Amino acid sequence: MSKVRYWQKDIETIGRRALEELQLKRLRSSFGRLYRHVPSFREKCRAAGVSPAAINSLRDIAHIPFTTSDDLRAGYPAGLLAVDRNRAIRLHTSSGTTGKPKAIFFSKRDIAQAAELVARCLTMTGTGSGDVLQNMMTYGLFTGALMMHYGAEKVGALVIPAGPGNTERQIALMQDFGTTAVHILPSYALYLATFMQQHGMDPKKDLSLKRAYMGAEPYSEKTRLKIEKLFGIDVYNCYGLTEMNGPGVAFECLEKNGLHLWEDNFIVEIVDPVTGQQLPEGAEGELVLTSLCREAMPVMRYRTRDITRILAGKCPCGRTHRRISRILGRSDDMIIVRGVNIFPQQIEQVLMGIRGVAQNYQIVLESLDELTIRVEIARDMFDGNIEHLLSLKSEIVEKIRSAVLVKPIVELLEPGTLPVTEGKAKRVIDKRTI
Residue 157, classed as helix, strand or coil, is coil
315 binds, among ligand ADP, Zn ion, none (CB under 5 to 8 A by kind): Zn ion
Is 191 an interacting residue with respect to ligand ADP (CB under 6 A)?
Answer: no
Helix axes 108-124, 143-154, angle to 10 degrees: 70
| Cβ closest to ligand ADP, residue 35 vs residue 142 | 142
Cβ atoms of 71 and 31 closer than 8 Å: no
Q: Which of 151, 218, 273, 415 binds ligand ADP (CB under 6 A)?
A: 218
Is 323 an interacting residue with respect to ligand ADP (CB under 6 A)?
Answer: no
* Nearest approach, Cβ of residue 294 and Zn ion (Å): 24
Is 216 an interacting residue with respect to ligand ADP (CB under 6 A)?
Answer: yes
153 binds, among ligand ADP, Zn ion, none (CB under 5 to 8 A by kind): none
253 binds, among Zn ion, ligand ADP, none (CB under 5 to 8 A by kind): Zn ion
The rounded distance, in Å, linking the Cα atoms of 344 and 96 is 18
The site map against ligand ADP for 140-179 (x = CB under 6 A) is: --x-------------------------------------
CA pseudo-torsion sign 42, 45, 46, 51: negative
Is 315 an interacting residue with respect to Zn ion (CB under 5 A)?
Answer: yes
| Cβ closest to ligand ADP, residue 184 vs residue 230 | 184
124 binds, among Zn ion, ligand ADP, none (CB under 5 to 8 A by kind): none
The residues with which 294 forms a beta bridge, in sequence order, are: none
List all residues 6 or more positions away from 432 whose beta carbon is below 8 Å from its beta carbon. 365, 366, 367, 368
Is 94 an interacting residue with respect to ligand ADP (CB under 6 A)?
Answer: yes
* Nearest approach, Cβ of residue 317 and Zn ion (Å): 3
Cβ atoms of 213 and 234 closer than 8 Å: no
Cβ atoms of 175 and 167 closer than 8 Å: no
Per-residue burial over 327-336, b = 16 or more CB atoms within 10 Å of its CB, e = otherwise: bbbbbebebe
248 binds, among Zn ion, ligand ADP, none (CB under 5 to 8 A by kind): none
The rounded distance, in Å, linking the Cα atoms of 145 and 136 is 7
Is 124 an interacting residue with respect to Zn ion (CB under 5 A)?
Answer: no
The rounded distance, in Å, linking the Cα atoms of 392 and 411 is 11
Cβ atoms of 67 and 300 closer than 8 Å: yes
The rounded distance, in Å, linking the Cα atoms of 387 and 160 is 47
Find the residue with minimal CB distance to ligand ADP: 215
Is 220 an interacting residue with respect to ligand ADP (CB under 6 A)?
Answer: no
| Cβ closest to ligand ADP, residue 171 vs residue 328 | 328
Is 317 an interacting residue with respect to Zn ion (CB under 5 A)?
Answer: yes
| Cβ closest to Zn ion, residue 193 vs residue 317 | 317
Among the residue ranges 47-55, 80-88, 131-139, 237-245, the one whose residues contact ligand ADP (CB under 6 A): 237-245
319-358 positions binding Zn ion, by CB under 5 A: 319
Is 61 an interacting residue with respect to Zn ion (CB under 5 A)?
Answer: no
CA pseudo-torsion sign 137, 142, 144, 146: positive
* Nearest approach, Cβ of residue 296 and Zn ion (Å): 30
Q: What is the length of the chain? A: 434
327 binds, among ligand ADP, Zn ion, none (CB under 5 to 8 A by kind): ligand ADP
Distance in angstroms between the alpha carbons of the first and the last residue of the chain = 53
Among the residue ranges 43-51, 91-99, 203-211, 291-299, the one whose residues contact ligand ADP (CB under 6 A): 91-99
Backbone angles phi, psi at 96, to 5 degrees: 65, -155
* Nearest approach, Cβ of residue 244 and ligand ADP (Å): 8
Among the residue ranges 171-179, 238-246, 295-303, 363-371, the one whose residues contact ligand ADP (CB under 6 A): 238-246
Q: Which of 12, 131, 217, 263 binds ligand ADP (CB under 6 A)?
A: 217
225 to each of 235, 315, 331, 352, how far by Cα in Å? 8, 21, 25, 9
Q: What is the residue-wise DSSP string for 360-422?
A: EEEEEEEETTEEEEEEEE-GGG-SS-HHHHHHHHHHHHHHHHHHHSSPPEEEEE-TT-S---S
Q: Write the burial class of residue 351 (CB in 10 Å: 0-12 exposed, 13-18 middle, 19+ buried).
A: buried
Among the residue ranges 63-71, 177-185, 307-315, 340-348, the one whose residues contact Zn ion (CB under 5 A): 307-315
The rounded distance, in Å, linking the Cα atoms of 251 and 131 is 19
Q: Which helix (H) or strand (E) holds 288?
A: strand 285-291
* Residues contributing to the site for ligand ADP (CB under 6 A): 94-96, 142, 215-218, 237-242, 304, 306, 327, 330
* Residues contributing to the site for Zn ion (CB under 5 A): 253, 255, 315, 317, 319
